[in-house]
Amino acid sequence: MSDKFDVVVIGSGPAGYVAAIRAAQLGLKTACIEKWKNSDGKGVNGGTCLNVGCIPSKALLDSSFKYHEAAEELAIHGISTSGVAIDIPAMLDRKNKIINQLTGGIAGLFKANGVTALYGTGKLLAGKKVELTDNEGAVSVIDAENVILASGSQPIAIPVAPVDNDLILDSTGALEIGEVPERLGVIGAGVIGLELGSVWGRLGSKVVLLEALDDFLAIMDKAIAKESKKIFTKQGLDIRLGARVTGTEVKGREVEVTYKTSAGDELKETFDKLIVCVGRRPFTEGLLSADSGVDVDERGSVFVNEFCATNAPGVYAVGDLVRGPMLAHKGSEEGVMVAERIAGHKAQMNYDIVPNVIYTHPEVASVGQTEEEVKAAGERYNVGVFPFAASGRAMAANDTDGMVKIIAHADTDRILGCHIVGPSAADLTQQVAIAMEFGSSAEDLGMTVFGHPTLSEAVHEAALAVNGSAIHIANRKRR
């Protein structure tokens, strides 16, 4: 390819396609390479997130929740239902239509913004050259002033549970299960395991989650993790902590799983399907030539500075490929930051305020520091908690599980963290993230007028509770 580009992006997931669009908006001649193909063999954008990650899993979560609500939860509202059934092929078809609509939307955005879409595999060579092997196998070399690596991540495989995407599935295969398994095993009780377990648990599967760690949701605030486990257990998820899987054996159309407990006991469990959800790792296979000049650590993460620049001049890396949480929104903002810096703007990103969400029902969401982190740092702090059981709006919706927890510095009252398990936790946490971005105090949030009746009033009350002035619950004694 003879043309020279100001920016070549390798990967069109949330980090890559956003970087490409923003770069083009800023007047930079931009190309974006994507290797993903749809079921028809056509190149499509969106990466893992749109094709087999965030979007399809949320589609299944929403469909399964509506089924569960219709089958189990409407009587309290005076609504009688009978003969409620789930059509799995129709549910999967809806998911696929959403994927097609959104991936097609990116193609439209590329066209509208002047991004050159290239379909095939990109490899960074020395001197900011990119080798493109297109989907027909033709090889060409692209010259670039700047290269943004955004190849994303892939599921971690474990030898004791080899994935065949028939009986033993990874998170991609789990999105295509054609019928409700009677017994579903999930290795890993993290974000993906909980979400996929919730989907099939609502549809009737007996779900067992085997988590090697002794702590549930170890990255979350401990109070929120404890409350979340209580809620999910009440919903029927069998969460077994300290359960390290040591082997699997396929027997006919069943999978026998052997695991050891923290106490040293060896136990066995048989499932109709087994999903392996033990995390993800950066996808760098074939991405870098030996002389590309880009350093990668033992986990495959590309070394970058605070502005996502690698040690190779003019080469950047964003999203799941670099340090930090593997979150689509984190990658998107990194993509914007890099595009703007290439264009000469002094863009930066606040890594202290990146929300984290688990899209179960209720949702689990957090932003900022946990109480444990604040305590470990030796900071003096105050905590405000408000339960959704005391929310009039949550009561009206029959959705009262969970709570809001806000942590603020004891001396400055600046908000340090917000942690929520409850209805619309993702959106409520985002309200606090905005406040934190502007350096707000708990008092600032407490003085803000919130609409009534809304779920967001729980955030308001938790902020008031930080300083012992909550109205709709008894205030805790100050330390």
Contacts of 130 (CB under 8 A, 6+ apart): 8, 10, 33, 122, 123, 124, 141, 142, 144, 147
pLDDT, position 300: 87
Ligand-binding site membership of 197 (annotated)? no
Q: How many CA atoms lie within 13 A of 288 on its CB side?
A: 23
Same fold, 4-155+281-342 and 356-466: no
- Judged by DSSP in three states, 475 sits in coil
Give the mean pLDDT of 379-386.
Answer: 98
pLDDT classification of 298: cutoffs 50, 70, 90: confident
The mean pLDDT of the chain is 97
Residue 133 confidence (pLDDT) above 90: yes
Band of pLDDT at residue 312, cut at 50, 70 and 90:
very high
Where are the domains positioned within the chain? 4-155+281-342, 168-278, 356-466
| Residue 201 labeled ligand binder | no
| Among 369, 372, 355, 370, residue whose Cα is nearest residue 434 | 355
Residue 21 labeled ligand binder = no
3 band by pLDDT with thresholds 50, 70 and 90? confident
Query: Among this protein's residues, is 452 annotated catalytic?
Result: yes
Mind listing the pLDDT tens digit for each residue in 181-203? 999 999 999 999 999 999 999 99
- Per-residue pLDDT at 122: 98
Q: Please enumerate in sequence order all residues whose Cβ is within 8 A of that of 459, keeping only pairs 6 or more positions apart, or say none.
A: 386, 404, 406, 418, 420, 428, 431, 432, 445, 450
pLDDT exceeds cutoff 80 at 1:
no
Output the pLDDT for position 119. Answer: 97
Tell me, which fold does domain 356-466 have in CATH?
A: Enolase-like; domain 1 (3.30.390)
282, β-bridge pairs: 153
Is 320 a known ligand-binding residue?
yes
| Residue 476 confidence (pLDDT) | 80
Q: For residue 190, say whether it is annotated as part of any ligand binding site.
A: yes
Predicted pLDDT at 379: 97
Which of the residues 409, 452, 460, 472 is marked catalytic? Answer: 452
Render pLDDT for 322-343 as a digit per residue (tens, 0 to 9): 999 999 999 999 999 999 999 9
477 contacts: CB under 8 Å, gap ≥ 6: none
Q: Is 182 annotated as a binding residue?
A: no
What pTM, to 2 d.p., does this model score?
A: 0.96
CATH superfamily of 4-155+281-342: FAD/NAD(P)-binding domain (3.50.50.60)
Q: Is 441 left (phi over 0), alpha (psi -120 to 50) or beta?
A: beta
> Confidence band (pLDDT; 50, 70, 90) for 478?
low
Tens of pLDDT, residues 220-229: 999 999 999 9
- Using the predicted structure, report yes or no on whether residue 459 has a pLDDT greater than 60: yes
Rounded Cα gap, residues 309 and 337, in angstroms: 11
Q: What percent of the chain has pLDDT over 90?
A: 97
DSSP strands (E only) in 308-439: 315-317, 356-358, 363-368, 381-387, 403-409, 415-422
Q: Say if residue 479's pLDDT is above 60.
A: no
195 is annotated as contributing to ligand binding: yes
Amino acid at 226: K
Superfamily covering domain 168-278: FAD/NAD(P)-binding domain (3.50.50.60)
Q: What is the DSSP letter of 74?
A: S
pLDDT higher than 70, residue 345:
yes
